[in-house]
Amino acid sequence: MKANQINIKNKKANFNYEIGDTYTAGMVLTGTEIKSIRDGKASLTDSYCVVDRGEVWVKGMHISEYTYGSYNNHQTRRDRKLLLSKKEIGKISKDSSDPGFTIVPLRMFISEKGFAKLVIGIGRGKKQYDKRQSIKEREDKRNIDRFFKQ
């Protein structure tokens, strides 16, 4: 796969959260981790971010072991540090400290320069009736598209 074809999404994030501000962050990875990501073997489900001592960490992100890796292979669910500016970290920390808000990974991609990037967003959890409303809007949009296609 080419670098611009890697686009790993967290599909449940937009369903479970109302996303506010989004930020693009670099990631600190080992050699076998970036090779697995370039193979498309990563998952963002059940992952979240925390701010700890002025650093943002992503927890629970699964990157499969590299098939050609040796004893130097990485752990699949280790904590990974995100690279953001101090100003962005301060804003994220302030926004996520409010009750009901969390930092959610939305999308992972490979940049033009070949670096792994993670798009994170400040999300507020949806209630059950909000989720039903989202499903209804999605089905209505699908029906309208079908009608205009015919």
Which residues have a Cβ under 8 Å from the Cβ of 122 and sit 6 or more positions away? 19, 20, 21, 22, 92, 95, 96, 101, 102, 103, 104
CATH numeric code, 3-125: 2.40.280.10
The CA distance from 37 to 12, in Å, is: 20
pLDDT (tens place) for every residue of the chain, 150 residues total: 454 678 888 888 888 888 989 999 999 998 888 888 888 889 898 899 999 998 999 999 998 888 887 787 888 888 999 999 999 999 999 988 888 899 999 999 999 998 999 999 999 888 877 788 888 888 999 999 999 888
Give CA–CA dist 10/58, Å, rounded.
Answer: 13
Region class of 59: left (phi > 0), else alpha (psi between -120 and 50), else beta: beta
CA distance 82 to 26: 6
